Structure 1
Amino acid sequence: MHSVCRIVLIAVTITALEFSAAAHGSAEPPDPVVSVQPSPQDSTYLIVSHQANLAEIISGTQAAREGTCALVRTLGVQLVADHTRLDAMGVAVAIPNLVPLPLRPNPDQAQQIWDTGLRIGRDFDMTWLRMQEDFHRQSLQAGARQLRFGTVEAVTALARNAEPTIDHHLTLVREALEHC
């Protein structure tokens, strides 16, 4: 898992740098350099969303490789792509504002990913989908807190821009739970 984390970190960093250099359109967060120190809420959101994105990238890779249900494999690929993009946007705001980002998911996320990886077949698929449902609900809750209590517009815009993608993932997860 350590080598996967390193690969993900390198990919996210490269994507963030590319995103910062060539950002266009509405997928771009507002000016990532904030003139004031991010509040504890803003910093917490950047850290929590980064760890959630890392968890989604790692577990999405796991699902694409280990899933037996086609919906799980397809959803895994989509999560890797979408959460890599979302994470690049967050990193592009966090780094210039000196918010230190962890190199891996939080311990609970890491344990759930590990436990899910020990399962096989339909048991893997269903456990992975329930984990995704939980991860995405938590991400939506963190975003709602940021929208309500955030003070830095660049960080709040990240939560606002991520919400439709995360909500769409949650819908896809729930549909897959019915079909897998």
Structure 2
Amino acid sequence: MRAVGENYEAEEDAAPLEMLVALFEARGWPCESAHGEMSGEIQGSWTTYQVKGIWRPDDMVLQILCLPEIRVPDAKRKQAQELVARVNEQMWLGHFDIWSNGGVVLYRNGTMLGDDGLLSLSQAQALVEIAVDECDRFYPAFQFVLWGDKTPVEALDAAMVDAAGEA
């Protein structure tokens, strides 16, 4: 059995925020937890992402937020909202939003846990990895719209191009 953190082993489920903190600590990612919320930072391919876990025990829902440090200026709000709609059409889990207060772009995913309200290590890893992967995947599209003056369609097409072959 591989140790995950001070109090948890890899095979043992735990309270959601405790498992997320144990995962972050095991990976050496900075984090803190208080009042039903944990917050940490992960270096992605494009930027450092702020990742938050918010636990609602009344509903047994764990919400993961990933903020890629993108603020949408008012002048680009319409194009950014169209891009968010197009990006969300590509998503299987979670979705992107632009917060009305401050124009911050974020990825959000809510997960209903079972009646015991426990989270496994594999679930915690998957939720965090999916959040960071999706932010990495679409970060360039937001940059193309906000700073490269591309249309949302052009930006998404450019961001979705996969390199073929080897150099």
The question of a shared fold, defined as TM-score above 0.5 by the shorter chain, is answered with: no
Comparing both chains, which one has the higher relative contact order based on Cα–Cα distances under 8 Å and sequence gaps of 6 or more?
A: 1
Query: More helix by proportion, 1 or 2?
Result: 1
Query: More strand by proportion, 1 or 2?
Result: 2
TM-score in terms of structure 1 length: 0.31
